[in-house]
Amino acid sequence: MTEKVGSREKVAIVTLGCEKNLVDSDMMAHLIDEKGYELVDNPDEATVVIVNTCGFIDAAKEESVNKILDMAELKDSGKLKSLVVAGCLTQRYKEDILNEIPEVDGIVGTGDFMSITGIIEESLAGKRPVYVGNPIFTYEEVVKRKVKAGTYSAYVKIAEGCDNACTFCSIPIMRGGFRSRTIESIVEEARHLAEQGIVEISLIAQDSTNYGTDIYDGKHMLPELLNRLAEVEGIEWLRLHYAYPGFFTDELIDVFASNPKVCKYVDMPLQHSEDHVLKKMRRPGRQRDTRELVAKIRAQVPDVALRTSLIVGFPGETEEDFERLCEFIKDVKFDRLGVFTYSNEDDTPAARLPDHVDEETKEKRANILMEIQREIAAERNGRFVGRELDVLIERYEGRNDIFVGRTQYDAPEIDGEVFVSGYKGELGKIVKVKITHSYEYDLAGEVV
């Protein structure tokens, strides 16, 4: 049994960035709770604040730095004794943080958060600990996480790092090379989450369809993993994110078509449509391959919701390239779409390419794409009106006397919701809802 500390220091974790950081924060929360510290949601009440940062693009870096400075002010206005910075920003810019933000009392990188309780103790003792080594942690050591009460959906990392070396991406610098977890460790984590009331698991990795090739003799093991997770009692939905099109096998499509617990939802970040842009990005596959794969998935998995993400303004992207990208989106009609403007990242090959696109043009192109997608989303959503769909009920809005949930076609926090009337049960349940109205991104209906 873990020794409990004598002091009841109050610790708040502030998480920024992607879902992978959420997972790291949950695991740190478990370690902190085991050690005997009191976890609090409000940083104003905390004596220790951990800011889990993102360092992926310029906007995320700026947000992280601003949040660190905001928390530092609590040393004067609140109860704060120790400010610890964790995550991708520290992994990449530890010297800058140490030199430029003296209020920071300790830092921990992406491969060292297992040491978080020791870092807290050292920082409270007046030291300035720095735990930033090689980002090689694989989560085999810790599968327990502490999720917040009232949470019914959780992200689970099936692999860490990436080997794809996309020219625009700094993830390998911050997270290291691709490292799969074993099926057994992931299943164990799923069981632990189910015991805490989680009913939906979203699988994440930088390259999820490549799962297992590094530890299972080159075999693509995602189909096997999904089928094993479907056997975990209490887990009702399994959702897949970040599936590279180049490794989306026929066996994987069969699992989507046949396993009732696997959500009919495919998140496949394409980044662009034009072959020469994809080549400069060093992305696998070409547009013809993507079109064929999308057609195959839709033919074999009826009603599947397809999500993708795109980058506009990549160096050398011409107006003609962008117009063709717009035509591609109009033609394929993705159910869900995210658009990012290209961000010039330090130490990446794309930063050294010629013909960079100005910020105003990038923003204009992003807005045009989202306007196109708004109409497509409304059209795709309309097909659900009059049908009965399973909806995971997640919260109650008292002022409107209405419950809010999601279908299997919508990922938590990034996609649409369903506004449900006539429900009198508990949160965290999956119920049948007859859809009566559709909007651009959301649905509304009545409990059957």
pLDDT tens digit string along 287-344? 999 999 999 999 999 999 999 999 999 999 999 999 999 999 999 999 999 999 999 8
Query: Could you give the count of Cα atoms lying within 13 Å of 94 in the half-sphere of its Cβ?
Result: 18
The amino acid sitting at 245 is: P
Residues that constitute the known binding site for [4Fe-4S] cluster:
18, 54, 88, 162, 166, 169
Is residue 149 classed as helix, strand or coil in its secondary structure?
coil
Question: 197 — alpha (psi -120 to 50), left (phi > 0) or beta?
Answer: left
Q: What is the pLDDT of residue 243?
A: 93
Structure tokens belonging to residue 295: 């057609």
- Please report the domains of the chain, with CATH numbers, ordered by start residue: 10-131 (3.40.50.12160), 153-383 (3.80.30.20), 387-447 (2.40.50.140)
What is the spatial distance between Cα 15 and Cα 318, in angstroms, rounded to a whole number?
37
Pairing, β 262-267 against β 388-397: unpaired
Residues that constitute the known binding site:
18, 54, 88, 162, 166, 169
Q: What is the mean pLDDT of the chain?
A: 91
Low-confidence ranges of the chain (pLDDT < 50): 1-6
What is the spatial distance between Cα 153 and Cα 427, in angstroms, rounded to a whole number?
12
What is the spatial distance between Cα 237 and Cα 199, in angstroms, rounded to a whole number?
7
Q: Which residues contact 404 (CB under 8 A, 6 or more apart)?
A: 393, 394, 395, 396, 397, 417, 418, 419, 420
Residue with tokens 């990188």: 109
Q: What is the pLDDT of residue 216?
A: 94
What is the spatial distance between Cα 214 and Cα 307, in angstroms, rounded to a whole number?
27
Structure tokens belonging to residue 285: 């596959």
What is the spatial distance between Cα 317 and Cα 219, in angstroms, rounded to a whole number?
36
